[in-house]
Structure 1
Amino acid sequence: MVLISVTRLHLRAPRYLPAFLWHNLLTIWQILNTPGFLSGKLWRDEYGAFWTLTAWKDELAMRNYRNSGSHRQAMRHLPHWCDEAAVVHWQQEDSNLPDVSKASHHMVLEGHFTKVLHPSVAHVSREIPHPISAKAIALHPLKTVSA
């Protein structure tokens, strides 16, 4: 079984964008180099929310990524920077990434809302708008060269 992980983050103010993008770049580098990462997508929806969709060999691989390095450092800023934050995980038989519609569907039905210090009305009411368009950036594990 493959673990699929989806996150959705919405920044509460444009002033957080430069720092968010810097931390995002560092966490992308980390994810590409994490054992057990299979593939992923990143996109920003028309509401300004940042989505991450990743496939993992198993839950342990995803947790090793989530709880270490650049990702762990970035996560401490989430409650301050975001007014909406949600995550969902599920298992599936194959390693094919679901499309944006399926990822959004899982998020709406099963998403866990993360604590933020300045929640939006949508976050408080547990609403996640369905992204209409999504030009995604594909992520693939970096191949290491053995000596």
Structure 2
Amino acid sequence: MRFPWISRPAAANGGDAVVLVTWFRLKDSWRSPGFMLHSLLLWWQALRSPGLLGIAIEAHPFRGTFWTLSAWTDRRSLSAYTRTDPHGAAMDRIRPWMDEFERVSWTLPTADLPHTPTARPLWTDAAERVTQERRSRTSL
């Protein structure tokens, strides 16, 4: 199940965006409906948050895995979103449901952000970054 990439107007200065990918694996897939509900509320919050440039979600509820992909004008905007409720309260509630969690961020020129709902190149890059992060954690 995918919620397509929704773009917001890029910053006028044409600078860099902060891209964030998160990957979650739940301890039990029966938690998926509740997790999806929280995801939709947070997606709705993000769409109204200052600094959002784009967002997409990919969910595999029967496997209990979820991905989010977003781009922000700067780290301050991203931080404000993650600390503001309902996001802050939701994370406190769902953190015990998680078996695994990865969060990777990087910068990208705003001109390179997706212009199509699939956002395929950005999703591919994000998946590779999560895989690298997971490998680096297990090799320690």
Q: TM-score, normalised by structure 2?
A: 0.72
Q: Quick one: which of 67, 87, 94 aligns to 1:51? A: 67
Residues 34-84 of structure 1 deviation map (CA, whole Å, 9 limit, x = unaligned)? 000011111125954100000101110000000111110111133310101
Q: Which amino acid aligns with 2:32?
A: L
More helix by share: 2
Number of the residue aligned with 1:103: 126
Q: Which amino acid aligns with 1:17?
A: S
Q: Quick one: which of 80, 83, 103 aligns to 1:67? A: 83
1:86-125 to structure 2, matched below 5 A, reads: 86-95=102-111, 96-97=113-114, 98-110=121-133, 125=138
Q: Which amino acid aligns with 1:25?
A: L
Number of the residue aligned with 2:10: none
Alignment of 1:13 onto 2:31: no
CA distance in 2, matches of 1:110, 1:81: 21
Q: TM-score, normalised by structure 1?
A: 0.69
Which structure 1 segments of 5+ residues have no match? 114-123, 127-147
Number of the residue aligned with 1:77: 93
Give the number of aligned pairs: 115
The runs of at least 4 consecutive aligned structure 1 residues that moved more than 3 Å come to 45-48
